[in-house]
Structure 1
Amino acid sequence: MKFSIERGVLVKAVAQAQSVVERRNTIPILANVLIEASESTVSFRATDLDIEVVDKAPAQVEQAGSTTVSAVTLHEIVRKLPDGALVTLIDDAGKGRLTVEAGRSMFSLATLPKEDFPVMASSEYQTTFAAPAPVLRRLFDKSKFAISTEETRYYLNGVYMHVSEGEEGRVLRCVATDGHRLARIDAPLPADAEAMPGVIVPRKTVGELRKLLDDDEAEITVSVSETKVRFATPTITLTSKVIDGTFPDYTRVIPMGNTRRMEVDAGDFAKAVDRVATVSSERSRAVKLALEEDKLVLSVNAPDSGAAEEELVVAYADERLEIGFNAKYLLEIASQVDRENAVFMFNSSGDPTLMREGNDTSAIYVVMPMRV
């Protein structure tokens, strides 16, 4: 195998591959990237047995072939080469070495046989549809903060992507929750997505998927089966197993009868929460919200370290209310608001609170209160 490729193109392709690779591996081949050169393209394939990414890049291929080499080492080498360099990769079959040449630099890397490399079995996908990258980016970006990190409740360790009933018909919906907060984000249902089975996309896959969604012009092809999900652009294909479990009935925890309405500038609110939380002990980080007509007082009282208070002008016309929240949860939810105003809907100091952006119900968040 022998091909030449521009350094910028190579670094992008290898970066995607090496981020999938697990650093601590008991199976040596899983630390490698499978490089396959044919005609005028080269593909880079990496897997951790749960996720597989294949990145295709244009190259000048002199001799077709394939090999596997350490993904992290190759990425480090290519990253440190000068911008604009033309990189030549040569594999002498039988020698077990891959030569990387660029200008006056030359590296020789150990390889492992491509036959040992595990390729994820292709699945029969029940549903395939296309969606613009910005739509998928919004669905996953706004929900991923609520993914649970508790391994015992493994079915909460991802984003539940499914088709549901929205206020104006059927929608593509992403939901994540850890039992303390919940995010539910809707997007118009893409054509052909109607029969999609609901799947829980794992946390690591959500992180890797983010790299595919940066291009606002890109159209992402999404394929879904009961056990796998695949996201593909013309050059990158990300395939992942889905979490084998049943996502709980999240509709039961979304409050419908909350009538006390507070509207506040989302940016001002987030900064005020951040400021008063500075004095609280890291463990609880509870912030008390005291509401009365058109006024919100945020306060923290931490006997061991001090106290803080800040007043904000808000739109609120109901009876006085005092309620406490974990500062981190409030900050994460407030940071999701793209518009100027956040609307909080309260019931009582012991009930879950609902938050949305203005009157837009396509993104809603629920947060459980704390005793303060």
Structure 2
Amino acid sequence: MSKDPIHFRAHRSELLTALAAVIEAIPAKDNIPILENVLLQPDGDRLLLRGTNLDLEIETRCELLEASAGEGLTIAADEFYRIVKNMPESAEITLAPGKFPGQVTISGGRSRFNLHTLPVSDFPSIGTDRPQLAFTIQANILTDALGKVAYAMNTTMKDRPYLSGTFIEGLEDGKLSLCATDGKKMAVKRISPSEVNTFEPPIIPVKTVQAIRKLFGQSKSPCSFFVNDRKLAIECDDLSLVSKLVDGTFPDYRRLIPVRSDVFLRADRAAVSKAITRVSVIAGDISKASVRLDIAPGSMQIELMARDGQNASEPVDIEFDGDSHLRGFNPTFVNETLSSISTTSFCLHGTDPGAPGHFTPDGDADEDYIVMPMRVS
């Protein structure tokens, strides 16, 4: 008795991990139906999975228990992901031709589903040509750096799309500089790749930055980055990511970074952040609030004056032996900045109330954080 034909059979855990990766690039709803699908292509004893929204494309592979030599298929990604996720952990999942053309039968345990398919030949790809190699770096070094600057990306203002991402450029000393800014705050982190070539500095879109951080996480695998003036491609283990770039010219961020002043205060990061959080309780619309830092030798008074006349204040011990002065900043911007500084204490450079706040870690970390000032009285 002949065996019923199948597309492939895979273990739930293998399939779920792969689907969770590619679904990052698949839109929930789209005017082009096939973009809501995931491509599934058996390749020997492995399965190739790909998802795309035509701006971002993610491809990965997983092990198969059994595969046919037939063509692949595309099915609704969200439905397939939820089916696999809700299968028993020990399930072996089989995809076989459906009863009717344009259908696939999915079975696992005692469950059985029939879904519609769309032709593989209609599935688009933005990753057919590979740009030149720009740099190679350990994955977790890059994702940690992206995490430090991500809060400063412009995610709300549509009038300056060239700020809607993270800028990466190669420096003369062989390091990479990552910068993000929304015009009100800026974060810069410098890291050392294992290999770097001359490349056109890209502005990586917000969604792509988020996908890189989620997909590569704390992996210590080497990742190769390929860049031209139109797109970025990343290869890391079994994962491949291709992304279009933000079109535009990133501002000359280097001239916005002040020279580190010899006059600065040093303070405990957590103590200052918690004090700012407490005094901000009365702020109302915190996006327009200003926290006043009354800085004197040995102490900083953190005060917030609400628009209705209420106020709150709290002193914090600091190391500072310069002249007393006032600084004013938005409390949210300061706390976002402090959360990206990994050292237990930080430095705030300068004394000019009209100058941007220049925050740095207390140590040798190669990073700078800038917060635009607010008027204090």
TM-score (norm 1): 0.94
Shift of 1:257: 6.3
Match of 2:331 in 1: 327
User: What is the alpha-carbon distance in structure 2 between the residues aligned to residue 344 and residue 90 of structure 1?
Assistant: 63
In 1: Cα distance, 2:204 partner to 2:16 partner: 27
1:278 aligns with 281
Amino acid paired to 2:26: V
Residue 208 of structure 1 is matched in structure 2 by: 211
- From 63, 75, 91, the equivalent of 1:69 is 75
Matches within 5 A, 1:48-59: 48-59=53-64
How far 1:93 sits from its partner (Å)?
A: 9.4
Q: 1:174-223 CA distances to partner (integer Å, 9 max, x unpaired)?
A: 111111111111011432x1312211111000011112322433221211
Q: Which whole-Å CA distance do the structure 1 matches of 2:169 and 2:301 have between them?
A: 39
Q: Is the 8 A contact 2:148 2:340 kept in 1?
A: yes
What is the DSSP-based 3-state SS (H/G/I as helix, E as strand, rest coil) of the residue aligned with 1:142?
helix
Alignment of 1:187-266 (within 5 A): 187-191=191-195, 193-256=196-259, 258-266=261-269
SS in 1 for 2:353: coil
Name the structure 1 match of 2:303.
299
- CA distance 1:198–1:93, change in 2 (3 Å): farther
Show the counterpart of 2:112. 106
Following TM superposition, the consecutive aligned residue runs of length 4 or more in structure 1 with deviations greater than 3 angstroms are 91-94, 257-260
TM-score with structure 2 setting the length: 0.93
In the other structure, the counterpart of 2:10 is 5
- Could you list the per-position Cα deviations for residues 98-137 of structure 1 after superposition, in whole angstroms to 9, with x for gaps in the alignment? 2111100111111111111111142342224321112111
Hey, what's the Cα distance between the residues in 1 that align with 2:62 and 2:354?
55
- The whole-number CA distance in structure 2 between the counterparts of 1:219 and 1:42 is 23
The reply to whether residue 96 of structure 1 matches residue 102 of structure 2 is yes
Q: Does residue 173 in structure 1 map to residue 180 in structure 2?
A: no
Equivalent residues in 2 for 1:92-171, closer than 5 Å: 92=98, 95-149=101-155, 150-165=157-172, 169-171=173-175
Picking from 341, 354, 365, the partner of 2:369 is: 365
Q: Does the 8 A contact of 2:137 with 2:193 survive in 1?
A: no
Identity of aligned residues (%): 29
SS in 1 for 2:340: coil
2:26 is aligned with 1:21 = yes
Unaligned runs of 5+ in 1: none
Query: Could you say if the C-alpha distance between residues 84 and 305 of structure 1 is closer, same or farther in structure 2, counting changes exceeding 3 Å?
Result: farther
Q: CA deviation at 1:302?
A: 0.9
Superposition RMSD in Å: 1.7
> What amino acid is the match of 1:152?
D
Please name the residue that 1:341 is paired with. Answer: 345
Aligned counterparts of 2:139 and 2:163: Cα–Cα separation in 1: 24
1:289 equivalenced with 2:296 (yes/no): no
Q: Give the residue type in structure 1 aligned to 2:12.
A: R
